[in-house]
């Protein structure tokens, strides 16, 4: 049966409290609140030719969630330095924060080695992914990206009329850069790359991506989403931001939601050529959605190298523990350079969701190439122990 469900219904349903799919509403639908979710005939959310996502029925009765491992959040944040900055700055919240935002932009520009006119801030990188999609695809065109990939930019592009050209990942789940380049045609307006990628956690090698971006951006802008790059411990990859100094038409998105532990405080930015940002600014108000307190939290967390280092270390330790236990149970996971791990499971995805949720563990479940998979975020060590316990009870 083709179940009709829209974003509003999902949000209203108890699934929000479960930390189930509705916890990441930006992942659940097209651009607009009332856009019905694309469902397939088996009542799965249609994400892409390769990916369908399971969700639980709205009336599913679940206990209190003890481990929310569904939205790739940082369980250690927000850093104390950012909490203090919010508390201290809130008294000035009657003012717009233009000057303060430009101070933050100066700081970020210095960190990225570019001038301030290369940076645009937003309330989370989602806002900027969506703005870029809206402005770029207002008059149609097509977007090339990997499949699977993070769907926020692609979904909005499709919603305003773009055609999506999905290019299957390679056997090791990295981007098939050759095939992506071949997919570009005269109507291509943007190439989207997510590195490390979500939902796979896989990386595309730095030098290969650098060569690709350098060459391809001569023809069409390349948007590289680096939401997880600071967590890519030991990865053979790097930020593409260095290409801006070479005048390449690349757009790099970064977020404070992952390594900085501020998903609910909402800060992100893009680094791009000033002319590209001018195009976004002509139609939207870059930076307008970010709050006074968030700006101070972002500035404090940028300086808080201890918090970032600790997150990286604890994420690595908890992921290593998960790997060891998945190995013991015979699960074959995709090596992850992020704070989540994707692995194939041997029971149907909806059954996994139901059984894990009934034990208070929120995860995500997809059918990829028609086989069931679980995506689990890396929580604290205690949360990973709870997850491993619940998973081992399944087999």
Ligand X SMILES: Cc1ncc(COP(=O)(O)O)c(C=O)c1O
Residue numbers at the binding site for ligand X (CB under 6 A): 72, 124-126, 150, 194, 198, 225, 227, 255, 257, 263, 268
Pair of tokens at residue 135: 């402005």
72's torsion region: left (phi>0), alpha (psi -120 to 50) or beta? left
The sign one gets for the Cα dihedral 294, 300, 306, 312 is positive
Residue nearer to ligand X on the CB measure, 72 or 273: 72
Residues counted in the chain: 395
The least distance separating ligand X from the CB of residue 125, rounded to whole angstroms, comes to 4
CB 195 within 8 A of CB 203: yes
The least distance separating ligand X from the CB of residue 196, rounded to whole angstroms, comes to 8
In eight-state DSSP terms, residue 162 is P
Residue nearer to ligand X on the CB measure, 257 or 388: 257
Tracing tokens 């207002």 back to the chain, one arrives at: 138
Residue closest to ligand X when measured from CB atoms: 124
The least distance separating ligand X from the CB of residue 50, rounded to whole angstroms, comes to 17
Residue nearer to ligand X on the CB measure, 15 or 260: 260
The least distance separating ligand X from the CB of residue 268, rounded to whole angstroms, comes to 4
Residue nearer to ligand X on the CB measure, 191 or 388: 191
| Cα separation, 43 vs 117, whole angstroms | 46
- Parallel, antiparallel, or unpaired for β 364-368 and 51-53? antiparallel
| Cα separation, 228 vs 257, whole angstroms | 9
Q: Which helix H or strand E contains 67, and what residues bound it?
A: strand 67-68
The least distance separating ligand X from the CB of residue 330, rounded to whole angstroms, comes to 28
| Cα separation, 220 vs 227, whole angstroms | 22
3-state SS track over 188-228: EEEEEEECCCCCCCCCCCHHHHHHHHHHHCCCCCEEEECCC
Residue nearer to ligand X on the CB measure, 247 or 285: 285
Residue nearer to ligand X on the CB measure, 62 or 270: 270
Strand partners of residue 270: 120, 253
The least distance separating ligand X from the CB of residue 3, rounded to whole angstroms, comes to 25
Residue nearer to ligand X on the CB measure, 109 or 227: 227
The least distance separating ligand X from the CB of residue 261, rounded to whole angstroms, comes to 11
């Amino acid at each position: 049966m083709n179940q009709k469900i829209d974003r509003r219904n999902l949000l209203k349903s108890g699934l929000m409290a479960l930390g189930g799919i509705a916890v990441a509403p930006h992942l659940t639908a097209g651009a607009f609140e009332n856009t019905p979710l694309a469902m397939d005939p088996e009542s799965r959310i249609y994400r892409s030719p390769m990916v369908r996502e399971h969700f639980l029925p709205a009336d599913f009765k679940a206990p209190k969630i003890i481990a929310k491992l569904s939205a790739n959040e940082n369980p250690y944040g927000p850093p104390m330095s950012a909490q203090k900055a919010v508390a201290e700055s809130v008294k000035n919240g009657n003012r717009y924060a233009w000057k303060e935002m430009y101070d933050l932009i100066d700081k970020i520009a210095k960190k990225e080695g570019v001038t301030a006119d290369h940076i645009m801030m937003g309330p989370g990188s989602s806002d900027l992914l969506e703005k870029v999609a809206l402005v770029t695809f207002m008059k149609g065109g097509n977007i090339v990206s990997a499949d699977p990939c993070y769907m926020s930019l692609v979904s909005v592009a499709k919603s305003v009329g773009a055609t999506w050209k999905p290019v299957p990942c390679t056997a090791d789940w990295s981007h098939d850069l050759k095939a992506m380049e071949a997919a570009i045609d005269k109507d291509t307006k943007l190439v989207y790359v997510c590195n490390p990628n979500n939902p796979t956690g896989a990386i595309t090698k730095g030098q290969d991506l650098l060569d690709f971006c350098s060459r391809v951006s001569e023809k069409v802008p390349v948007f590289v989403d680096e939401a997880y790059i600071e967590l890519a411990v030991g990865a053979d990859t790097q930020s593409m931001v260095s290409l801006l100094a070479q005048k390449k038409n690349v757009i790099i998105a970064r977020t404070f939601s992952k390594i900085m532990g501020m998903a609910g405080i909402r800060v992100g930015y893009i680094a791009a050529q000033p002319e590209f940002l001018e195009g976004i600014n002509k139609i939207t108000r870059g930076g307008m959605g970010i709050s006074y307190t968030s700006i101070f939290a972002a500035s404090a967390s940028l300086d808080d190298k201890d918090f970032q280092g600790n997150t990286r270390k604890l994420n690595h330790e908890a992921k290593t523990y998960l790997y060891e236990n998945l190995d013991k149970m015979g699960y074959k996971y995709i090596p992850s350079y992020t704070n989540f791990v994707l692995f194939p499971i041997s029971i149907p995805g909806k059954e996994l969701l139901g059984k894990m949720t009934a034990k208070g563990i929120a995860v995500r479940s997809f059918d990829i190439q028609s086989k069931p998979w679980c995506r689990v975020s890396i929580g604290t060590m205690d949360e990973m122990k709870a997850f491993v316990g619940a998973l081992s009870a399944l087999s």
